[in-house]
């Protein structure tokens, strides 16, 4: 991965984040999308900035706030973008929202991430990784720091990070049946997964088909470069830039220590 591209994408994410923050404590319009999820002026402004900046590369684009004309399916490299992941958290001012920019490349007929950037505007913290280059966190006024997942390898010491607004019965059952140590509420998927990447939690799961490729792509490579793993709940790695962009079998992120055991617990529920 070209270091200049990575540097530029980090700058773009911060520029988009600054634009989002310009709306944060002001009045702004809130609309409803077809799926009834909220859309704000901040989402659209962030999207505009990102697309204008990344247009120079000529890669395909899949963005939550851009009409998908499927031209991306012909591209060897594709940007997968969520201009603001965690819009509800933006509206409720929890701070748990982020700008997510991933870049995937077609390798052996499968699209996998080669670059990921997740920027958390409220905390002015950027997480990023490129293929084979490790995962990093850069906080405001601090030096870049390499991050890695925790070494916790037993359930009783493990922390699960879950949605603040979309708790599930499955998550309740897993927390109780596996005797997990702690349950941490959080917003943006990118923030959740990056907390696992930096060692602040061990598990995050969403079994539904309500998330899309842009919800996980950027964080996927950050987690894997930090030593963790992201799959769907069937245990398969993600193949990006599909015609159907929905994560039909949800997603499951972990520090990698008990990934398969966790999935087997889910499988046991399905059999009963």
User: Structural domain boundaries of the chain?
Assistant: 3-146, 155-271
First-to-last C-alpha distance (Å) of the chain: 46
What confidence tens digit (pLDDT) does each residue in 220-229 have? 999 999 999 9
List residues bridging with 253 in a β-sheet. Answer: 204, 230
Q: How far apart are CA 100 and CA 65, in angstroms?
A: 12
The domain over range 3-146 is classified in CATH as 1.10.10.10: no
Mean pLDDT of 121-148: 97
Q: Which residues pair with 229 in a beta bridge?
A: 254
User: 3-state SS of the chain: helix, strand, coil percent to 5?
Assistant: 35, 30, 35
Residues 222-250: pLDDT tens digits? Answer: 999 999 999 999 999 999 999 999 999 99
pLDDT band, very low/low/confident/very high, at 1 (cuts 50, 70, 90): low
d(CA 46, CA 54): 12
**Whether residue 257 has pLDDT greater than 90:** yes
E strand segments, 56-170 = 60-63, 77-85, 98-107, 110-120, 125-130, 135-139, 145-146, 159-163
Specify the pLDDT at position 26.
Answer: 80
Q: Which fold has domain 155-271?
A: D-Maltodextrin-Binding Protein; domain 2 (3.40.190)
Residue 21, by phi and psi: left (phi above 0), alpha (psi -120 to 50) or beta? alpha
pTM of full prediction above 0.85: yes
């Amino acid at each position: 991965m070209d270091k200049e591209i990575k540097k530029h994408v980090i700058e773009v994410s911060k520029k988009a984040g600054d634009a989002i923050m310009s709306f944060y404590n002001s009045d702004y319009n809130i609309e409803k999308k077809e799926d009834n999820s909220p859309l704000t002026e901040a989402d659209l402004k962030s999207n505009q900035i990102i697309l204008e900046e990344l247009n120079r590369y000529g890669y395909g684009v899949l963005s939550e706030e851009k009409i998908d004309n499927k031209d991306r399916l012909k591209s060897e490299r594709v940007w997968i973008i969520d201009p603001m992941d965690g819009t509800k958290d933006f509206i409720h001012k929890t701070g748990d929202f982020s700008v997510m920019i991933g870049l995937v490349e077609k390798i052996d007929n499968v699209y996998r991430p080669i670059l990921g950037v997740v920027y958390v505007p409220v905390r002015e913290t950027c997480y990023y990784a490129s293929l084979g280059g490790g995962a990093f966190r850069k906080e405001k006024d601090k030096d870049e720091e390499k991050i890695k997942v925790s070494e916790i390898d037993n359930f009783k010491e493990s922390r699960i990070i879950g949605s603040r607004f979309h708790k599930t019965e499955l998550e309740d059952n897993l927390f109780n049946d596996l005797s997990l140590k702690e349950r941490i509420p959080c917003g943006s998927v990118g923030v959740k997964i990056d907390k696992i990447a930096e060692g602040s939690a061990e598990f995050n799961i969403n079994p539904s088909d309500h998330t899309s490729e842009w919800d996980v792509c950027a964080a996927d490579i950050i987690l894997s470069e930090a030593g963790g793993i992201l799959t769907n709940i069937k245990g398969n790695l993600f193949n990006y830039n599909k015609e159907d962009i929905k994560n039909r079998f949800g997603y499951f992120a972990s520090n990698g220590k008990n990934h398969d055991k966790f999935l087997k617990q889910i499988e046991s529920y399905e059999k009963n």
